A and B are shown apart, each in its own frame.
Chain A
Amino acid sequence: MTSVAAEESTGTASRRTRGRWGDRLLFGYTWLIIVWLCLPIAVMIAFGFNDTKGRLNLTWQGFTVKWYGRLFSVPDLTTALVNSLTIALVATAVSAVLGTLIGLALGRYRFRGQGALNLVQFAAISAPETVMGASLLSFFVQLNVGRGYWTIVIAHIMFSLSFVAVTVRSRVLTLDPAIDEAARDLGATGWTAFRLVTLPMIFPAVLAGGLLAFALSIDDFIITSFNSGSTLTFPLWIWGAQKNGLPPQVNVMGTLIFVAGVLLAVGNALLARRRR
């Protein structure tokens, strides 16, 4: 017992001396990457507090919080943000439901066309966005569908669906199929077994897939720009406005979206820890 403990402590000690410089290097490198990744975000947040006078928000002119008060004073921008948020919510909800069903079917059953479905999913994930956007546009044109809010929603559901399905499928594959049978055996109907047993077990994957879908939808530019018609989303508005200079409200909204994202991520991590 004591000899084992002694062995362990000498083991870690030698590792520590051997790796002192390596550890420092790793430590420094880690923080370098963290700073590198955070710097653009920090700049975005900072310029939301810039007391800029002209149309351009490119040089630091003093600290202010007034842009937070005038968040919605650019009407077009507000509309674009609302569009982006509602499109993302609808697309997420629909693709979460449909993707979960596809993922369940792919993970649990063997059926005709399963291989093809799997392949098409990964194709949808890996296809270049420009190609997807352009082909979707010609599809809508062929069908004579006017581009606008709902074509954006359809496009977003299309590309986020696979992400949810793939995440859910890989989770379902790790589940013991006997658990579902056990629920049925104990008197649960198919729906009850799903609600009380299967769904709670795959919920982390559904949540992860849904968050992914939301993140993809809210900042999608390429596919959206092909199929938006005259409807503007947040990224589209910024793209159009940046030639004339972006108002600081853009930075404020970006900051708020970022903060919401961070809060969600932290919340998810905490939830996962408690679950464990």
Chain B
Amino acid sequence: MTDTKEAGTPVGADLAAIELNGVKKTFHAHGDAVAAVKGIDVSIGEGEFFSLLGPSGCGKTTTMRMIAGFDEPTEGEVFLHGRNVVGVPPNKRDVNMVFQSYALFPHMSVFENVAFGLRRKGVAKSEVARRVGEMLEIVDLKGREKRRPRELSGGQQQRVALARALVNRPRALLLDEPLGALDLKLRQAMQVELKRIQREVGITFVYVTHDQNEALTMSDRIAVMNDGRIEQLGTPREIYERPATTFVAGFIGTSNVLSGTVARAGAGRAVIEPGLGERIVVPCTAAPGEEIELTVRPEKIDVRSDPPAGDGCALRGTVTEVVYLGMFTNYNVTTSTGAEVVVFVQNVSSADDVATRGDSVWLSWDPRHSYVIGA
């Protein structure tokens, strides 16, 4: 084993930056065994912006801590650039972490904070000064080298934490809800900033968050986690448009979940016919008589007062709530199947609301936007 973090094994071009193989983690507290991570297999590519998204307690932070080396997996293997690092302490792993609380050293200046990692590696003094200066420039903190962390604003502290980790040029940067403590405006600005910095330095980012917008905005790929497992792994578009499970559909954005028994099938399509003139068309291979569950995103649905023409999806319902939200209007509709459906209608013209509360309406959408859950 090498004793510095920078020296490492030769890197193959197709080697994953991070690979988790059947990783499980069980904590023991008061005699109870609590399974935090129940088996994760994932491979994160070089230079990728990868998010672990999920509600609190889903195991995303534990997963990250196992990559950093603060927790060891109960079962399974963790590879950093092809090297199994199980049992290797955090100070010997070539990854750095940005903590949710920033965890800056309060008794050190900004410069000393950022220089900490380089000094541990014995980098020459002039080189330390150059690289710290460079990094402070990237995070836009030039001229604040001598400040103490508490003299900085939350956003500035956040950037010091980022610089302190990135200056070491780690193989991967792990970020644990780094924007959680910032207010909305600053958070949005930092999202753009983080993405820019990631492009600039070209380092693999593993980003832990419970904020779906954050994950959708920045990530190349997202792993949606729930109860210690990955529910779905894919690009933001895949995750949003084709949620694989009811959990993902519910967790990412607003999603309508419909269910029914297939009445007709053919040509790669299944049709549910809840009532006269009503049909839900789904592109899938389910056979007649099969019970299926599907999702449709609210912005894909149209609201109209007369039955739609053609052979698209058509569903009858009653408007229970209309909320005007500026850019669009939000309709809550109780369909004839009993399901609650949310519809976003864009306020494109100055036209009045398409329907009001209590109206009987028809919902219609293109079959391309129906996705079977679990297919």
Contacts and interface: CB of A to CB of B under 8 A. Distances in A.
B288 interface: no
A192 B120 contact: yes
A264 interface: no
A249 B101 CA distance: 57
Interface of B: 5, 68-70, 89-91, 96-97, 99-101, 103-107, 116-117, 120-121, 164-165, 168
A182 B99 contact: yes
A184 B90 contact: yes
A181 B70 contact: yes
Contacts of A189: 91
Contacts of A182: 97, 99, 103-105, 164
Contacts, number: 59
Interface string A181-197: 11111111100100011
Contact of A183 (B5, B69, B89, B105): B105
A273 B202 CA distance: 44
15 contacts: A178-B101, A179-B103, A179-B106, A181-B99, A182-B103, A182-B105, A185-B90, A185-B97, A186-B165, A187-B91, A187-B120, A189-B91, A197-B105, A200-B107, A201-B107
B106 A188 contact: no
A121 B99 CA distance: 34
- Chain B CB within 10 Å, residue with most, of A176, A179, A185, A200: A185
Contacts of B68: 185
Contacts of A186: 91, 96, 116-117, 120, 164-165, 168
A65 B103 CA distance: 57
A189 B3 CA distance: 11
Interface SS of chain B: helix, strand, loop or mixed? loop
Contact of A176 (B70, B91, B101): B101
A185 B93 CA distance: 8
Contact of B168 (A187, A196, A200, A201): A187
Given A178-B101, A184-B91, A201 B106 contact: yes
A185 B90 CA distance: 5
Contacts of B100: 178
A220 to B, nearest CB: 34
B345 to A, nearest CB: 46
A176 B121 CA distance: 24
Contacts of B107: 200-201
Nearest to A177: B103
Nearest to A186: B117
A207 to B, nearest CB: 14
A188 B90 CA distance: 9
Contacts of A197: 105
A188 B97 contact: no
Given A188-B91, A197-B105, A201-B107, A183 B99 contact: no
- Chain A CB within 10 Å, residue with most, of B89, B91, B96, B104: B91
A164 B80 CA distance: 43
